[in-house]
Amino acid sequence: MIERTTAETMSLEASSPFELRSELSKNVPESLVKQSLETGDIGFLHSFTTGSAVDGPGIRLVAWTAGCQFRCLYCHNPDTWNIMNGLAVPLDRAVAELNKYQHGLKIMDGGFTLSGGEPLMQDRFATRLLKAARGMGIHTALDTNGFLGERLSDAELEHIDLVLLDIKCWDPERHKHLVGKDVGPTLDFARRLAERQRPIWLRYVLVPDLTDDEDDIYHLAAFAAGLGNVERVDVLPFHQMGRYKWEKLGINYALNATQPPPPDMVKRVCDQFRSAGLKAY
């Protein structure tokens, strides 16, 4: 049984994903976590937030999942790394949350975005929630690092109107240094989405001295343009809004001295994507 004080009484809504949330499921038995991951009956969520204008087209309701297998040096939400930091939310409660906003989302030409953390760490819950949103006629988007894309069947991909695909870095060694995992599975997922003609918005976090290499961006832009399904590229300038979470969680943060990229660097990177024929913002 899920402890009532957290699972049933805590608000699902946060003012923003930058709100620190941790250990919300520390009393959930391991067997229930395992079963939930297999069935998707329960999801582990950091929160829901409303009113986002940057996580897909229109105004978005966003569910932020807990659990991520990457360890990005620049991660803004390290409290979402551990699945047990999330609130255990029965699927029907999450669907009720969608239901609450479905009318407004449609009026605002918006939709629902599942983000994280990495939503595909909970692929069964993710699939069922996205399918439920689609069933209500809500536009659906999945924000993912793509590493676990093979967990989704071709039929399940059809419930996702848009994939916000985060490609962290082109160069394999730099990628591994940056996130702790290989870039290959992410690129394979991008190719599969292209084959299935599923639209992608590519997201690229720009960090001085980590992801600003001209050659890397040239190759990434050529790859993305060659896919044929990348509708736009969002170049996301690094910022320090998540730093306090690293401090509070007692995790060593390597980017204390890193500054946001200067405007001319952001422009250069956007121009590189545009030169490959992509829309970049």
Binding-site ranges for ligand SF4 (CB under 6 A)? 68, 70-72, 75, 77, 80, 116-118, 145, 179
Q: How far is the CB of 73 from ligand SF4 (least distance, A)?
A: 9
Task: Please report how close the Cβ of residue 280 comes to ligand SF4 at its closest, in angstroms.
Answer: 20
Q: Which is nearer to ligand SF4, 45 or 179 (CB)?
A: 179
Residue number with CB closer to ligand SF4 (70 or 253): 70
**DSSP percent split of the chain into helix, strand, coil, nearest 5:** 40, 20, 40
CB neighbour list of residue 237: distance below 8 Å, 6 or more residues apart: 206, 260, 261, 266
| Contact (Cβ atoms closer than 8 angstroms) between residue 46 and residue 66 | yes
Nearer residue to ligand SF4 within complex by CB, 59 or 167? 167
Q: Which is nearer to ligand SF4, 17 or 57 (CB)?
A: 17
Least distance from ligand SF4 to the Cβ atom of residue 121, Å: 9
- Could you tell me the smallest distance in angstroms from the CB atom of residue 68 to ligand SF4? 3
The tokens describing 31, both together, are 């067997």
Nearer of residues 69 and 102 to ligand SF4, judged by Cβ: 69
Cβ at position 201, least distance to ligand SF4 in Å? 15
Q: Which residues contact 113 (CB under 8 A, 6 or more apart)?
A: 52, 55, 56, 60, 61, 62, 63, 140, 141, 142, 143, 164
Nearer to ligand SF4, 2 or 77 (CB): 77
Joined together, the tokens standing for residue 80 give 């979402």
- The SS3 call for residue 261 is coil
Of the candidates 63, 163, 56, 164, the residue with the CA atom closest to the CA atom of residue 109: 56
Between the alpha carbon of residue 42 and those of residues 52, 77, 88, the distances in Å are 24, 22, 6
Residue 191 beta carbon to ligand SF4: minimum distance, rounded to whole angstroms: 20
